[in-house]
Amino acid sequence: MGSNEQTVLQFVPSPASVSARVHPLVIFNICDCYVRRPDQAERVIGTLLGSVLPDGTVDIRNSYAVPHNESSDQVALDIDYHHNMLSSHQKVNPKEVIVGWFSTGRVTGGSALIHEFYSREVSNPVHLTVDTEFRSGNAAIKAFVSVSLSLGDLQLAAQFQEIPLDLRMVEAEQIGFDVLKPTNVDKLPSDLEGMEASMERLLALIDDVYKYVDDVVEGRVAPDNKIGRFISNTVASLPKLSPYAFDKLMNDSLQLGDLKPSKKKYKLIEIRKRTTILETTYFLYLLHPTS
């Protein structure tokens, strides 16, 4: 030992700032595969597809299950199936490559073997676990990379190191959770119904702001300068118009005078909606964390 003093105990590769992002489709697909798993199977595993973004984030965009057999000390993976499926996916979207693999449940002894297989397919694969049994009491979705502990050139062990996982679901948000959350939705929201739901949420938000301001004014809540400035900026970003000028602007641009009374009523409803939008859009933009 004395002759080799340079030897250090280290993790290879060092658990650098690798992170992963997972798209809602992947979660949906894994859940579906789990629900449809074969009779005796404890868990399902499969391949994750996606790409590595320029900043090193692993973007997991797609997945498919791979049939497998697991006994106490060995794992048999249907490699032909895996390759067939991969080539089919790549015909559709060549930009999506293997980035790792998923498994339901948690990391188990067999995981190391499967991880080794995927390491041959792609360097440094990501291992995603989805706790479909809710064993920890909540919906735990975790991402791991493998780091090996080595002493000099000698590899001692491998370890699954958890990496940060971004679960923000912008795609799902765009569709609306009204459709994706419940087990049963009788009807897709039409344009107007969707608008109505949004407006209701908006009005509730405005009420919240009103309530907060009132509470502060009445001394019920301790004032927060940050929020105060926020609200003040928001209000200031709307041009100050007298109600008369506002009405005139609206009427002029809408040419209400030319309309039949029945249509006028409809249009006035539209305008009310519109003015609420004008008032509230700015609130929203300011409240949105990204802006």
Partner 1 sequence: MANTATRSFLQVAATEEATTPLRVVQIEGLVILKIIKHCKEFSPALVTGQLLGLDVGSVLEVTNCFPFPLEMMRCLREVNVDNNTVGWYQSTLFGSFQTVELIETFMNYQENIRRCVCIIYDPSRSNQGVLALKALKLSDSFMELYRSNNFTGEKLREKNLSWVDIFEEIPIKVSNSALVSAFMTELEADTPVSQCDYDRLQLSTSPFLERNVEFLIECMDDLSMEQQKFQFYYRNLSRQQAQQQAWLQKRRAENMARKNAGEEPLPEEDPSNPIFKPIPEPSRLDSFLITNQIANYCNQINGIPDQAIIVAQPGKMEFFGPVGL
Neighbours of 77 (CB within 10 A): 20
State which residue, 96 or 146, has the beta carbon closest to partner 1: 96
Question: Per-residue DSSP letters for 12-42?
Answer: ES---S--EEE-HHHHHHHHHHHHT--TT-S
Q: What's the min distance (Å) between Cβ of 39 and partner 1?
A: 10
State which residue, 9 or 192, has the beta carbon closest to partner 1: 192
Q: What's the min distance (Å) between Cβ of 6 and partner 1?
A: 47
Q: What's the min distance (Å) between Cβ of 179 and partner 1?
A: 5
State which residue, 192 or 222, has the beta carbon closest to partner 1: 192
State which residue, 10 or 275, has the beta carbon closest to partner 1: 275
State which residue, 88 or 233, has the beta carbon closest to partner 1: 88
> Distance between CA atoms of 106 and 43, rounded to whole angstroms?
9
DSSP 256: G
Residue 46 CB contacts under 8 Å (≥ 6 apart), including other chains = 30, 33, 63, 64, 65, 66, 101, 102
CB 215 within 8 A of CB 228: no
249, HSE (Cβ side, Cα atoms, 13 Å): 10
* Residue whose C-alpha is closest to residue 131's, from 72, 66, 49, 43: 43
Q: What's the min distance (Å) between Cβ of 269 and partner 1?
A: 10
Q: What's the min distance (Å) between Cβ of 237 and partner 1?
A: 8
CB 144 within 8 A of CB 161: yes
State which residue, 149 or 259, has the beta carbon closest to partner 1: 259
> Distance between CA atoms of 180 and 42, rounded to whole angstroms?
26
Q: What's the min distance (Å) between Cβ of 135 and partner 1?
A: 13
Q: What's the min distance (Å) between Cβ of 148 and partner 1?
A: 31
DSSP 288: S
State which residue, 157 or 192, has the beta carbon closest to partner 1: 192
How many degrees, rounded to 5, is the angle at CA 202 between CA 198 and CA 204? 120
